[in-house]
Amino acid sequence: MKAIITAVAAFAAAAAAAPTSNNLQTIRRAMPAITDADILNYALTLEHLEDKFYREGLANFTQADFAAAGFDATFYSNLKTVSSDETTHVAFLTGAITKAGYTPVAECVYNFGALTPKTFVATASILEGVGVSAYLGAAAEIMSAAYLTAAGSILTVESRHSSYIRASLGQSPFPSPFDTPLTLNEVYTMAAQFIVSCPSSNPALPVKAFPTLSSAPSNGPITVGSTITLLTPGSVVTAADGKSQIYAAFITVTGPVFAPATATTGGFTVTVPKAPEGSAPISGQTYVVLTGCNTTVTDDTVAAGPAFFEVGPL
């Protein structure tokens, strides 16, 4: 039995918060009151995931495996540095949370799937991109200036990892003039797909996962104007009245860009829209959620997602 997810239109809220073009305030998308300890533990949750991912990958694959997959002679040692950076982030955040008198979350059990060296690096690229968007989205919620600077100094390193790994996959290291901030729940929705279970002693975080949305494999590079398929495995997304339009909201720092979503077997098709002139383009690692309205994206209006995929230059 598939869960029926009703996309909330939220017209009243939408009218109040209707974004104007380039309204940077739209990046603060109605998050609940969250403490700095919550934010630090949220960051630590992601760092644990990345740390374990690289340690497992380095245990699974040798330098010769990466060389045979086409990565250059410096790749393996650079990967070890990336891995060590993540281990250091875990130690730093664990220490900061403990020092502030809170309980740091411990590592969970993860399932990254059966990876090849190439799919390992592709997954690393996705995780680094999500990491950048997570720190960027959380920045506006951090109260303490010292924590904000510390988080910023981790964010810039994650973005350097992202660029390096993207370049090693033959992708543009800097595919957009803007990075995309994501809310805690949006990030957690994607992270949760790798998490099998966490220690019951971990403090509960004020985050929830939205229903899963995934992008179906595409036959070629996706650009603005491409039609993509978004799948809703495990759920059926409908409008409250059964006939209103469902939208795909492409998230950018200058506000969501909406496109109508057309129901198809197992999900929706949608054409990647062009962002308005002067706003952040839809380019690079792109995140899209399903909504029941085309004016605002909040935790109340997201019906599923985000799904993520790469949008290349036109």
Ligand X SMILES: *[C@@H]1O[C@H](CO)[C@@H](O)[C@H](O)[C@H]1NC(C)=O
Q: Does 308 bind ligand X (CB under 6 A)?
A: no
- Out of 6, 13, 22, 60, the only residue in the binding site for ligand X (CB under 6 A) is 60
Chain-centroid distance, C-alpha 90: 19
CB 229 within 8 A of CB 215: yes
CB 145 within 8 A of CB 283: no
Q: Does 126 bind ligand X (CB under 6 A)?
A: no
* Strand locations in 12-119 (E): 109-110
Of 120 and 210, which has the nearer Cβ to ligand X?
120
Which residue type, as a one-letter code, is found at position 285?
Q
Burial class (CB in 10 A: 0-12, 13-18, 19+), 232: buried
Stretch that binds ligand X, among 100-108, 110-118, 134-142, 145-153 (CB under 6 A): 110-118
Stretch that binds ligand X, among 25-33, 108-116, 158-166, 206-214 (CB under 6 A): 108-116
Q: What is the DSSP letter of 222?
A: B
Of 120 and 268, which has the nearer Cβ to ligand X?
120
- Out of 163, 254, 294, 301, the only residue in the binding site for ligand X (CB under 6 A) is 294
CB of 77 to ligand X, least distance (A): 18
Stretch that binds ligand X, among 78-86, 106-114, 176-184, 215-223 (CB under 6 A): 106-114
| Cα–Cα distance measured from residue 141 to residue 165, given in angstroms and rounded to the nearest whole number | 28
CB 282 within 8 A of CB 272: yes
CB 46 within 8 A of CB 138: no
Of 94 and 294, which has the nearer Cβ to ligand X?
294
- Out of 4, 12, 73, 114, the only residue in the binding site for ligand X (CB under 6 A) is 114
Of 218 and 244, which has the nearer Cβ to ligand X?
244
Token pair in block for residue 82: 């990336």
Token pair in block for residue 2: 């598939």
* Strand locations in 41-187 (E): 109-110
Q: Does 113 bind ligand X (CB under 6 A)?
A: yes
Q: How many residues bind ligand X (CB under 6 A)?
A: 11
- Out of 56, 65, 107, 300, the only residue in the binding site for ligand X (CB under 6 A) is 56
Q: How many CA atoms lie within 13 A of 92 on its CB side?
A: 14
Token pair in block for residue 257: 């860009």
Q: Does 57 bind ligand X (CB under 6 A)?
A: yes
Of 142 and 280, which has the nearer Cβ to ligand X?
280
CB 178 within 8 A of CB 254: yes
Footprint of ligand X on 249-278 (CB under 6 A)? 258
Binding site for ligand X (CB under 6 A): 53, 56-57, 60, 112-115, 120, 258, 294
